[in-house]
Each structure stands twice: as C-alpha cells, then as structure tokens.
C-alpha cells in the first residue's frame, strides 16, 4: 500500500460519512462534522408534524453514496420515498437504523417513586426514545460527552435495539475514535446480522489509517464486509465504492477496483466521492487526463458539507492541497464548527506553510472535539515546524490523554521529534523528559533508549 493512500484514509477523518442502505458510502465524522454522514440514530417516535415514524438515516449520501449530510436537520424529508440511510453524525455521522416504535406492554414499564408514593409511570419505550433524541440533539450540537451519556442510557434500556449502539459508533467516528467505533459496529452486527448498514460501517472503520501491525488483515476484512453488504443489497452504491477503497488499500489497482468505483457511479451518477476515488485510481495508473476529468466532476457534485469534506480528503491523499482547501473553506462557510473540516483545513494550511491560520483552525477543531487525538497531534507537529518545542510538547501531552492503543507508536515518534528539537537547541533536560515519554509509549524502539541515554551523560 502506498504512502499517499495511508495519508488519505485519515478518518477523519471526523470526518462526514453518509451511507444509505440503498446505496451510499461516505465518511461523515459525526453529526457535527457532517462527513460520516450517518446522522445520529433517529428516533422512531413521531413528532407533531408526522403521522408515521421516520426512518433514521445513516451517514451516507442520498442513496448509498457517502455524501456527508449536514446534521443541522434532525430529520430528512424527501418528495420521493425516503431511502434507508445510516447517518454518521452532523460532524459526520453514524449509521442510524430506524426501527418501528414498539407498543407499550405491562412488562416493560418502570415506576418512578418519590418517598412512598408513586408520582409517575413511564414506559421503557418512551425513555428509550427520549434518550435517543437527547443523544441525537447533543451530537448535532457537538456536545459529544453529553451525547455519549444519552446513547449509553438508551443502550441500557434496550440492549437488543441497535439504534443506541449505532449512535455510539457514529459518535466515536465523528471524533475519529476508531477502536471504539469498531467495537460499537461489531456489536451492531451481532444485533442485526442481516443489516447492510452495520457491515458497511465496520468496513469503513477498518479502512481508516491507524497504526497497526495487521493492516493487511483489516483491509482484507473490510473487503469481505463490503462484499457482504453487496450480497444483502446489490444496489448499494456505497458498498461498491467501499469495496474499491478496500481493494485499493491492498494495492489492487486493476480492473476489479476501477469496476467497483464505476459500478458505484452507475448506481448513483451524483456520487461525488466515487468520482474522486476513481480520479485517484486513474492517476495512480498514469491516466492523468481521465483522472483530472473525474476530479472535476467530483468537485462539481460536491454541494453539501459532508461530500465536500470527503472529496477534499481524497484530494489531500494526492497532495492536491490547494484544491482541497477551496472545498474545505466552502464547507466551513456552511458549517463553521465542523471538526473534520477544521482538521483537514489545518493540515492543508500547515503543509502550505500558513502556520498562523493553521494554528487557529486546529485549535478550534480540538475545542469542538476535545477527545479527538488527531487535532492535538497535528498541533504538536505544527509547533515542531515552527521550532516552538515547549508548545509542541504541551499539545502532545494533551494527545497522550486521549491516545488509543493503535496510535501509541505514532505519538512516541512525535515525542521523539520534539526531543530531537530540544537537543538541537541545547535543552538536554527537556529532551530527556520527552524521550522518556516516547520510551513509555514504544518500549521496543532501541533508538529511543540510546537517545535518552545521551541526555543523561555529563
């Protein structure tokens, strides 16, 4: 697998990811990012304006395309028959699977008492629906801690209802907490083994760029999950697009991969992300004119925030940072607090040497999503570039508080880089402190122990 592909699969990249069970795939990173455009699980509880429960929509594009959809709207209304989608957050999203509202029964009610007297009787179903609504609302407002509490409350009320676990998966995806998202979606598959949304959500997570010794196995499983989705839903455009991504990450850039992207486009000719993926593949194959045309189509079709972010992410994988910057600024004009758009724009600005603006943008991303590792890590790298090693260390320490097991070696390398910087300016004591952090994160790297030993010599 090439370096540029690893760079592309950020995950976001909080990214905004939409994927409808009919045919969509995208990486909406939560209702707040709009990338993983699977909106938070929608409650099946009808509103005053609705006579029938609305299906929750996953984080995918119109069909099954990963078009991230802004999470400002709590429900979606279409003139045509609504498609089943899995939303992955306003920031972009998580899959939400609509389920019919269960009828109350005597067995599933709880009595709330104050002292000795019964003051209120509530139905478990009502409590569950309210918890889902609370989680969705908090996620849309990027109040991630509050949303997590609400979804966990819903899960405790109905262990067999997948909406709460989808909400958690989407919430974790919004913040690029990939290991937790993976566990959530695996649980969703156990609850709903015939759900296309669950398989495609897990496939998406497995193709994110984490540090792992078994990436090949993860990509192979992502491929099989995409194929399983296609078996369950042969017209799922997102599944074909995700199949192409999984194949490409395994270094397979032949006809099967290009046909997967083309099939996604055939199923949904407005699927911007599939055009971007095809453009990337064509460029890797040396077909530059065709690649440019595919990219232009992707840009033209990028009309919503999640899609803009997803396409921009693909462009960054190809070092097309200027073009990605334009899309990301458009996205932020519509959704100024989208953590994934902020993170990607900060990365583009850092690469372009616009450090002052990059700092502001990345700090805002970290503020919106304080449990996201990537924003802190990028701020650390930014300050290393500016040779502000004290600031770099400060943000890496914040990253340390939220680092996942799979990111520890990457963080160790970041600490090592800061230590090298301290040494260059003669701060041996500071270098030693930072090297010790690196050693604690990556005990197997002999070079770190050697560098630490040098700081301790007279």
Three-state DSSP at 349 gives helix
This prediction's pTM: 0.71
**Which pairs count as long-range contacts for 248-256, CB under 8 Å and 24+ apart, including other chains?**
248/5, 248/277, 248/280, 248/281, 249/1, 249/5, 249/9, 249/207, 249/219, 249/222, 250/1, 250/216, 250/219, 250/220, 250/223, 251/1, 251/2, 253/281, 253/284, 253/285
Homologous superfamily (CATH) for 380-455: Tetratricopeptide repeat domain (1.25.40.10)
**Cβ atoms of residues 147 and 177 within 8 Å:** no
Structure tokens at 117: 């007297």
Three-state DSSP at 89 gives coil
In this structure, is the dihedral angle defined by the CA atoms of residues 356, 358, 359 and 361, taken in order, positive or negative? positive
Domain pair 6-101+122-371 / 380-455, same fold: yes
CATH says 6-101+122-371 is which class? Answer: mainly alpha
Asked, as a colleague might, if the bond just before 196 is cis with ω within 30 of 0, I would say no
The tens place of each residue's pLDDT in the chain, 458 residues long, gives 333 333 233 333 333 333 332 222 333 222 333 333 443 454 444 333 333 333 333 332 323 323 333 233 232 333 333 333 333 333 333 333 333 333 333 333 333 333 333 334 458 788 999 999 999 999 888 888 899 999 999 999 998 888 999 999 998 888 888 889 999 999 999 998 998 988 999 999 999 877 777 889 999 999 999 999 999 999 999 999 999 999 999 999 999 999 999 999 999 999 999 999 999 999 999 999 999 999 999 999 999 998 999 999 999 988 899 989 999 999 999 989 888 899 999 999 999 999 999 999 999 999 988 988 999 999 999 999 999 999 999 999 999 999 988 889 999 999 999 999 999 999 999 999 999 999 999 988 888 888 988 888 75
- Length of the chain as a residue count: 458
**Cβ atoms of residues 96 and 38 within 8 Å:** yes
Q: How far apart are CA 219 and CA 262, in angstroms?
A: 20
Q: Which of 361, 387, 134, 390 is nearest to 378 (CA)?
A: 361
Helix axis angle, 355-368 relative to 339-351, nearest 10°?
Answer: 160
**Cβ atoms of residues 345 and 317 within 8 Å:** no
Terminal Cα-to-Cα distance of the chain (whole angstroms): 45
Query: Please, what is the Cα angle at 31 between 273 and 139, to 5 degrees?
Result: 165
Residue 51 contacts by C-beta under 8 Å, 6 or more apart in sequence?
none
**Domain ranges in the chain?**
6-101+122-371, 380-455
């Amino acid at each position: 697998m090439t370096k540029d592909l690893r760079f592309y699969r950020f995950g976001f990249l909080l990214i905004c990811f939409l994927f409808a069970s009919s045919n969509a795939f995208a990486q909406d990173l939560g209702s707040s990012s709009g990338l993983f455009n699977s909106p938070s699980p929608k409650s099946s509880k009808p509103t005053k304006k609705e006579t029938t429960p609305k299906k929750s929509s996953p984080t995918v594009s119109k069909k099954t395309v990963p078009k991230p959809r802004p999470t400002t709207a709590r429900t979606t209304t279409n003139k045509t028959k609504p498609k089943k989608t899995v939303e992955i957050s306003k920031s972009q999203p998580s899959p939400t699977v609509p389920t019919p509202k269960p009828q109350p029964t005597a067995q599933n009610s709880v009595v709330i008492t104050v002292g000795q007297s019964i003051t209120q009787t509530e139905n478990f179903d009502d409590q569950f629906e309210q918890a889902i609504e609370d989680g969705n609302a908090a996620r849309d407002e990027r109040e991630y801690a509050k949303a997590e509490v609400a979804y966990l409350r819903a899960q405790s009320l109905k262990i067999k209802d997948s909406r709460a676990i989808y909400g958690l998966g989407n919430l974790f995806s919004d913040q690029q907490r990939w290991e937790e998202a993976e566990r959530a979606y695996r649980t969703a598959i156990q609850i709903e083994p015939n759900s296309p949304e669950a398989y495609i959500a897990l496939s998406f997570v497995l193709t994110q760029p984490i540090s792992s010794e078994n990436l090949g196995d993860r990509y192979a499983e992502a491929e099989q999950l995409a194929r399983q989705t296609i078996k369950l839903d042969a017209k799922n455009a997102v599944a074909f697009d995700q199949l192409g991504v999984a194949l490409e990450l395994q270094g397979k850039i032949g006809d099967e991969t290009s046909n997967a992207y083309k099939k996604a486009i055939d199923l949904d000719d407005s699927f911007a992300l599939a055009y971007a993926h095809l453009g990337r593949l064509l460029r890797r194959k040396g077909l530059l004119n065709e690649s440019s045309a595919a990219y232009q189509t992707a840009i033209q079709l990028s009309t919503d925030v999640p899609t803009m972010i997803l396409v921009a992410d693909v462009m960054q994988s190809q070092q097309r940072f200027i073009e990605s910057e334009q899309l990301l600024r458009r996205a932020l004009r519509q959704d100024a607090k989208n953590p994934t758009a902020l993170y990607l724009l900060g990365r583009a600005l850092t690469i372009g040497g616009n450090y002052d603006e990059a700092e502001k943008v990345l700090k805002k991303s970290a503020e919106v999503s304080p449990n996201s590792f990537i924003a802190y890590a990028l701020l650390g790298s930014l300050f290393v570039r500016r040779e502000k090693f004290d600031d770099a260390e400060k943000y890496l320490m914040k990253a340390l508080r939220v680092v996942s097991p799979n990111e520890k070696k990457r963080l160790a390398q970041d600490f090592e880089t800061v230590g090298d910087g301290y040494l260059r300016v003669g701060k041996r004591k500071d270098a030693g402190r930072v090297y010790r952090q690196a050693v604690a994160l990556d005990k197997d790297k002999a070079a770190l122990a050697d560098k630490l030993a040098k700081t301790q010599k007279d």
